Amino acid sequence: MLLECMMNGHAILYTGVTLAFWSTILIVGICYTIFDLGFRFDVAWFLTETSPFMWACLGIGLAISLSVVGAAWGIYITGSSIIGGGVKAPRIKTKNLVSIIFCEAVAIYGIIMAIVISNMAERFTGTTPETIGAKNYQAGYSMFGAGLTVGFSNLFCGICVGIVGSGAALADAQNASLFVKILIVEIFGSAIGLFGVIVAILQTSKVKMGD
Partner 1 sequence: MAEPRSSSRRMLMAFFAFFFAFFYTGSSTAQVPVVLWSSEGLPALAPPAAGHIVSTDQLTAYLTSAFGSGPRTVLLFLQDKLSKDDFTVFGGVFGNKQDSAFQNLEAALQSSSSSVTLPAFEWSGSSAIPALLQEELGVSPLLVDPDTLSHLSINSSASNLLLFNLPYCTSVHKSCKEVLHDNDEVIGKVLTIMKAKKIPYTAVYTGSQPSRVISETSMSNQPAGRSLLQAVVPDVKAPIMFNGTGGPCIMLWAQNLSISLSSTAAWIDLAAETPTMTGSMCNSTNSLLVLNYASGYVLSFNMIQRFYSVSARNWFTLESVQLQSNGVTASFSGRRAIYAPAEYSYHCQTVSSIGDALLVQNSTNVNASQWRLNFVDFQIQGFSLANGTNFSYASDCAGFFTAGIWMGLLTSLLMLLIFVYGLHMIMQLNTMDRFDDPKGPSISVPQSE
Q: How many of the chain's residues bind partner 1 (CB under 8 A)?
A: 13
40 is an interface residue for partner 1 by CB under 8 A: yes
Question: Which CB sits closer to partner 1, 65 or 138?
Answer: 65
Interface residue with partner 1 among 15, 18, 33, 51 (CB under 8 A) is: 51
Note whether 4 binds partner 1 by CB under 8 A: no
Q: Which is nearer to partner 1, 10 or 123 (CB)?
A: 10
Chain positions 159 to 198 lying near partner 1, rule: CB under 8 A, are: none
Minimum separation from the CB atom of position 10 to partner 1 (A): 6
Burial class (CB in 10 A: 0-12, 13-18, 19+), 162: buried
- Least separation in angstroms between residue 106's CB and partner 1 is 18
CA neighbor of 142 nearest in space, from 206, 196, 198: 206
Query: Does 33 interact with partner 1 (rule: CB under 8 A)?
Result: no
**Is residue 122 close enough to count as binding partner 1 by CB under 8 A?**
no
Secondary structure (3-state) at 126? coil
As a whole number of angstroms, the distance between CA 68 and CA 70 comes to 5
Q: Using the rule CB under 8 A, is 65 a contact of partner 1?
A: yes
- For residues 59 and 148, the answer to whether their CB atoms sit within 8 Å is yes
Q: What is the b/e burial string over 1-11, where b = at least 16 CB atoms within 10 angstroms of the residue's CB?
A: eeeeeeeeeee
- Quick one: 18 or 174, whose CB is closer to partner 1? 18
Binding residue (CB under 8 A) for partner 1 from 18, 24, 33, 50: 50
Of 32 and 185, the one with the shorter C-beta distance to partner 1 is 32
Q: Does 86 bind partner 1 (CB under 8 A)?
A: no
Beta carbons within 10 angstroms of residue 96's beta carbon: 24
- If one counts every other C-beta atom within 10 angstroms of the C-beta of residue 118, the result is 17
Judged by CB under 8 A, the chain residues 123 through 152 that form the site for partner 1 are 128-130
Q: Judged by CB under 8 A, does residue 46 bind partner 1?
A: yes
| Residue partners of 87: CB distance under 8 A and separation at least 6 | none
Q: Using CB under 8 A as the criterion, which residues of the chain lie in contact with partner 1 when the complex forms?
A: 10, 39-40, 46, 49-51, 54, 58, 65, 128-130
